[in-house]
Structure 1
């Protein structure tokens, strides 16, 4: 039975562990904290990642806990809906990030993966060695670095090309859901500021609040309700529901690697392709890539060759998602406020263009087509 050592017990790490364990690999996950948990409030799951949850046997459970979104909308500074995507033929689920993390953990453990906590990873070796802070070297047929933006695994192998931050950041919170919070994902624009609202559970709504990091009040915690109400007076009812004890704020990251693999080692998730969250695909593409890795390696006669083939297949699509969500990000915080009507017109026209719109939506879904109606209705 091939052995696997995974660095990091986040969403990407548990997804990889679950997928590989179900394929017969002997998997151990090494995590520095004593009790792994996820920060970030809510999460979007789309047609590239939801089939993985189905295949792992937890699709129904995440569907029960999350909310299926029926339309995705953008509202401009004049409170006009400029983009309105009907999602009746495809699945978009918004859920609590903690629920997604816990279900992937359960799927990994149920498949036979072992979680080892309180162990800090310091690096890796291409021959299949995971190095720990206490000096121990864990040897495995496959090593996976799912250890985040500042990945020690990636950096120890010299795989990093670019690691940086965009000029904006997001505060993410969960607030009490009201009857007015219908099954819609709505992003509101106001100059260089954006607010997204989407229900994520029966009684909870996910809110992401984005603005330029150059403005000190943007990243304040607790949330500066006065500041944000000045930007979005019509969303005062949303900001009033944000508690003083909730929320996390992060600057939008970017990671690009020379390669995602080195010998028997692969990096995945933010360690490989951290990106701004505008497409809701940071976790989604990692989950889909983890499943594809397990598919390829289960049939590969050589781990190193299998990893090379995996990167060849999955990287071009993820690179495109990363590129487009980055363009969207810059259009959000760097667009001159006085030209906001031009931006609204461009996005409105793009959403209706017969050539541009399907292409954009394809990558918004993570690089997959709309499934057949009977599949998306499940």
Structure 2
């Protein structure tokens, strides 16, 4: 029988049930275990759940969708994210199916502008993969920890004293509540924590297709294709394995032809004829999402904390949305692990971790608004502070 939870002095008691003649009886012996309720079973929510479970907490995760899955696209994980994956026990599974491109270059209107070797004897380690692959690895790590995940269980809000409210009318008390329920977070909105939300001129279509003939030589690199004639468009061409290709296709919101779903392949092929084999294969896949940022007055209220897109949604221009989400989820678990005062621990956690996230979000927003990446990735710039960061909860000499 699953353990159940009841509050006493702010702690949750895990009690082993026994059955006599079909009637449950509680043992007198009780062990104090802190408990967390988490809204959202995405990258951030599962990372927080695993990290808390590793530190002796009981955890329950609520996912609004009926299935546990990731949106069908690709994703970049820099070294900071790889360190977190190592810490939560998902690294080996991720690496087993990830792709390490030899180089990253920028091309504008057919001219190669910049090139950087990656994943070799240099300071930039970057793995690309499908989001499904990354998610499956993190989910497997959560399953190994026997973490309870409830699907079709949507959060409608939370209270600062540590209560998660669900769409079915239940209220779930906990020592800690975590809102990891995405850019439209109901937990965050119920607490009135939004400071600003900004939207930008461009958005992105994310699609996965087969690589077809786009293999070998330069086609094994990550390539940032830009075109400004006859219209401003961008395709971040990203191999995710031997056969999988991820394309992040940027188009202005005002450009109805280029931002339409289903994708108008002919519009894109006119600007990027070399990618015709991949663009012709898109069909009805993909969705268009506007670039936007969300900043909060603070990342917590009482014993309720926000992580991931719920706390700091950012444009994907630095590919650090997932990296920052996982870093902050792990560091949150470290901060509250043995804290007597959860409220104070959350304030210290934010003071320590937020400056780097704010910096990364600001740089990503600048790149989104200015389209500065058309001149090449600023490898020497402070944009890569997060990618080079050693996350809280990971040792400096961690072997990857």
Query: Please, what TM-score do these two structures have when normalized by structure 2?
Result: 0.84
Q: How far apart are residue 28 of structure 1 and its match?
A: 0.3
**More divergent stretch after superposition (139-148 vs 300-309):** 300-309
Q: 2: distance between equivalents of 1:51 and 1:317?
A: 16
Q: How far apart are residue 85 of structure 1 and its match?
A: 4.5
Aligned-residue RMSD, C-alpha: 2.4
Instruction: Check if 1:139 corresponds to 2:209.
Output: no
Instruction: Check if 1:201 corresponds to 2:257.
Output: no
Instruction: Check if 1:189 corresponds to 2:189.
Output: no
| Closer/same/farther in 2, CA of residues 183 and 56 from structure 1, 3 Å limit | farther
Q: 1: distance between equivalents of 2:91 and 2:143?
A: 16
Q: How far apart are residue 368 of structure 1 and its match?
A: 4.9
1:71-121 deviations in Å (ceiling 9; x for gaps): 222112242232435442342110110111122122122223200112221
Q: 2: distance between equivalents of 1:306 and 1:221?
A: 45
Q: 2: distance between equivalents of 1:108 and 1:228?
A: 40
Q: For structure 2, list consecutive stretches of 5 or more residues without a partner in the other structure.
A: 1-32
| Closer/same/farther in 2, CA of residues 160 and 366 from structure 1, 3 Å limit | farther
Match of 2:89 among 40, 48, 57: 57
Query: Please, what TM-score do these two structures have when normalized by structure 1?
Result: 0.88
Q: 1: distance between equivalents of 2:297 and 2:177?
A: 18
Q: 1: distance between equivalents of 2:37 and 2:384?
A: 36
Q: Higher helix share goes to which structure? A: 1
Q: 2: distance between equivalents of 1:84 and 1:359?
A: 16
Match of 2:360 among 321, 332, 335: 321
Q: For structure 1, list consecutive stretches of 5 or more residues without a partner in the other structure.
A: 352-356
Q: 2: distance between equivalents of 1:101 and 1:114?
A: 16
Q: What corresponds to 1:359 in structure 2?
A: 382
Match of 1:290 among 329, 332, 345: 329
Q: 2: distance between equivalents of 1:146 and 1:220?
A: 29
Structure with higher Rg: it is 2
* Residues 332, 349 of structure 2: 8 Å contact kept: yes
* Residues 362, 368 of structure 1: 8 Å contact kept: no
1:202-236 deviations in Å (ceiling 9; x for gaps): 32111111010100012222221110112223332
**More divergent stretch after superposition (36-45 vs 283-292):** 36-45
Summarize the alignment of residues 14-25 of structure 1 with structure 2, pairs less than 5 Å apart: 14-25=46-57
Q: 1: distance between equivalents of 2:388 and 2:159?
A: 31
Q: How far apart are residue 21 of structure 1 and its match?
A: 1.2
**More divergent stretch after superposition (205-214 vs 293-302):** 293-302
Q: 2: distance between equivalents of 1:299 and 1:368?
A: 22
**More divergent stretch after superposition (181-190 vs 279-288):** 181-190
Q: 2: distance between equivalents of 1:65 and 1:78?
A: 32
Match of 1:221 among 241, 246, 261: 261
* Residues 3, 142 of structure 1: 8 Å contact kept: yes
Summarize the alignment of residues 99-114 of structure 1 with structure 2, pairs less than 5 Å apart: 99-114=133-148
* Residues 176, 204 of structure 1: 8 Å contact kept: yes
* Residues 103, 222 of structure 2: 8 Å contact kept: yes
Summarize the alignment of residues 1-378 of structure 1 with structure 2, pairs less than 5 Å apart: 1-88=33-120, 89=122, 90-177=124-211, 178-180=214-216, 182-191=219-228, 192-240=232-280, 242-332=281-371, 344=375, 347=376, 351=379, 357-363=380-386, 365=387, 367-368=389-390, 378=400
The ranges of structure 1 where at least 4 consecutive aligned residues each deviate by more than 6 angstroms after the TM superposition are none
Q: How far apart are residue 303 of structure 1 and its match?
A: 1.2
Q: 2: distance between equivalents of 1:188 and 1:305?
A: 47
1:159-197 deviations in Å (ceiling 9; x for gaps): 011124222111111111242374421111112311111
* Residues 69, 91 of structure 1: 8 Å contact kept: no
